[in-house]
Amino acid sequence: MTAVTAVTALRARVGALATASFLAFSTTILPTTGSTPPAYGADSLPPAASGPSASAPNAPWPAATADSGSGPSAAGVIDQIDDLATAKTLRRSGVVVVDPGTDAVLYDERAERALIPASSLKILTAAAALEALGPRTRLATTSTAAGDVVYLIGGGDATLARKDERDSQADGPATIRRLARETATALGTTTRVDVVFDDSLFTGRQLGPGWPKGFPAAGVAAPVSALMMDQGRKSANSRARVPDPARKAARAFAGYLEKQGVQVRSVERGSAPSSARELAKVESATVTEIVQQMLTGSDNDVAESLGHLVGSAVVGEGSFAGGARGMTEVLSSAGIDISGMQLVDASGLSGRNRIAPITIAEVLSDVVREERWSAISGGLAVAGVSGTLADRFATKATSAGRGVVRAKTGTLTGVGALAGTVMDTEGRPLVFVVLANRVRSQAQARDTMDRLASNLAECGCR
């Protein structure tokens, strides 16, 4: 490995810790009027259907402090994982292990090398969304009216569903059917309308830079839109996505209006006037819950929606480019060293993204210390138990990591990643990040990464 100098802190912070979010924490976001990429991997494919709210978060680790168990030494960690961190199965890689209680870098194998991160990028997306949008923010999908025109306005909620058995509940999940019912009630005696759907909160291209055109049909990600239901799926149980998620959502909305006795003459795309009166709105789960859902299941649609929302909030542009600039600005302002970082999307699907392992480690260290972004801990998949790690850590060599490793996976063709936290035998949480590029065997690379994390779980390393 490269020399692990006697570093006692992470790279010098480029700024003081942020003391406030870009927006108020308790708000509703209302909608306003290179080269050939690697293909996606197994953890890039979302489940066939996704509910409108996030699942329950994991119980958090105890916050790391300098007194959190006996501190491991760099020499001990090197002895425990060096053979795995430098294994040929990881090819072009970067590996770092940090003790967040003391900020000591315990292992550094090209930790500042900017690499393709795949879905481990979602850790940065989560941090930026929590910081810029606020953890208690909810995303609103709204209907307004001007004369006999009803406007359906998307607010960037990628968790909006067509319908749910709890639609009749006042505090039920956000669904198109519920919004249509409440809209019909608010219309009163107006029984003939035109529907105009407004998805203008997001702008620009709908597929990320470097994404193959076949991603929607393959079910990897929908065309990014500020208005979608069931994440743009052709049907609730389908993986394949439609080319125009907003139009599909609007047609479903019109259909439900008609079931309520409101005749819909036309359905067209347009912009809602600011003078239109609000009829109804449905709100998502909180940004905290959405972030956790995104991380556990590696949800690409939710990630891109959050990235676009960060761009809209921070730089006034809800697009791929705006999201990349907004996320970069948020992380830099929060004191994260972003040297070498290049972002083009928020999900990690593009092979044009570049992040150094140490940058991800800095974010995770703040998570474990509970300085901010602690909600991320509740969304990381648990080894052998949940999310994209549910079917991993199943061998004798990785059994020590089951239940005590929490991490975000990443997979593209030739790319593997595992970034998260692990509790060592002394009860001390450690942060680790492994990014590997030019991988020839995903199975071997995953096994190496899982064994590395499991070895850290067996580490007293003093």
CATH at 261:
3.50.80.20
CATH number of 37's domain: 3.40.710.10
Is 298 catalytic? The answer is yes
pLDDT tens-digit map of 33-74: 433 344 445 466 555 544 433 344 565 555 555 555 557 899
> Domain for residue 370, yes or no?
yes
Q: How far apart are CA 204 and CA 225, in angstroms?
A: 10
Residue 232: which residues within 8 A CB-CB, separation 6 or more? 216, 222, 223, 225, 241, 242, 245, 248, 301
Whether residues 294 and 400 fall in one domain: yes
Q: Cite the DSSP H helix spans in 231-336.
A: 245-259, 287-297, 300-315, 320-333
Query: Is residue 364 a part of any domain in this protein?
Result: yes
Reported as a pLDDT band with limits 50, 70 and 90, residue 371 is confident
pTM: 0.89
The number of distinct structural domains making up the chain is 2
Mean pLDDT of 170-194: 92
Specify whether 271 is located in the same domain as 334.
no
Identify whether residues 129 and 198 lie together within a single domain. Answer: no
Asked if 119 is an active-site residue, the reply is: yes
- The residues pairing with 277 across neighbouring beta strands, listed in sequence order, are 145
- Residue 10: inside a domain, yes or no? no
Considering the domain architecture, whether residues 396 and 378 belong to the same structural domain is answered as yes
Place 166 in a pLDDT band, splitting at 50, 70 and 90: confident
Q: Looking at residue 70, what is its pLDDT? A: 59
Residues 281 and 148 in one domain: yes
Domain's final residue, options 269, 285, 301: 285
Residue 157 shares a structural domain with residue 123: no
Residues 103 and 51 occupy one common structural domain: yes
Question: What is the pLDDT averaged over residues 146-150?
Answer: 96
| pLDDT of the residue at 5 | 39
Asked, for residue 214, whether it belongs to a domain, the answer is: yes
d(CA 368, CA 330): 19
Query: Residues 366-392: what's their mean pLDDT?
Result: 94
Same domain (yes/no): 79, 119: yes
78 and 182 housed in the same domain:
no
In a domain, 409, yes or no: yes
Nearest to 52 by CA among 278, 299, 312: 299
Residue 117: predicted pLDDT: 98
Alpha-carbon distances, residue 55 vs 52, 117, 217, 286, 295 (angstroms)? 10, 25, 26, 12, 11
Assigned domain for 88 exists: yes
3-state percent helix, strand, coil for the chain, nearest multiple of 5: 35, 20, 45
- Single out the residue in 260, 285, 310 at which a domain terminates: 285
Q: How confident is the model at residue 141 (pLDDT cuts 50, 70, 90)?
A: very high
Q: Are residues 441 and 337 in the same domain?
A: yes
Looking at residue 67, what is its pLDDT?
Answer: 55
Average pLDDT over residues 286-296: 97
pLDDT of amino acid 61: 53
Alpha carbon distances (Å) from 114 to 5, 172, 349 = 20, 43, 16
Structural domain of residue 221, as residue ranges? 138-285
Check pLDDT > 70 for residue 25: no
Residue at which a domain ends, from 250, 285, 320: 285
Question: In Å, what is the CA distance from 402 to each residue of 114, 191, 454?
Answer: 29, 58, 8
CB-based contact 54:396 (threshold 8 Å): no
* Distances, alpha carbon 159 to alpha carbons 84, 259, 296, 343, in Å: 39, 24, 14, 24
* Same-domain check for residues 144 and 100: no
- 269 within a domain of the structure (yes/no): yes
Given 44, 225, 298, 374, the catalytic residue: 298
- Name the catalytic one among 122, 163, 248, 281: 122
The catalytic residue among 119, 312, 319, 374 is 119
Mean pLDDT to the nearest integer, 228-237 = 94
Rounded to whole angstroms, the Cα distance separating 293 from 57 reads 8
Mean pLDDT in the chain? 88
pLDDT in tens, 399-430: 999 999 999 999 999 999 999 999 999 889 99
pLDDT in tens, 107-123: 999 999 999 999 999 99
Together in a domain, 306 and 441: yes
23 lies in some domain: no
Mean pLDDT of 384-413: 97
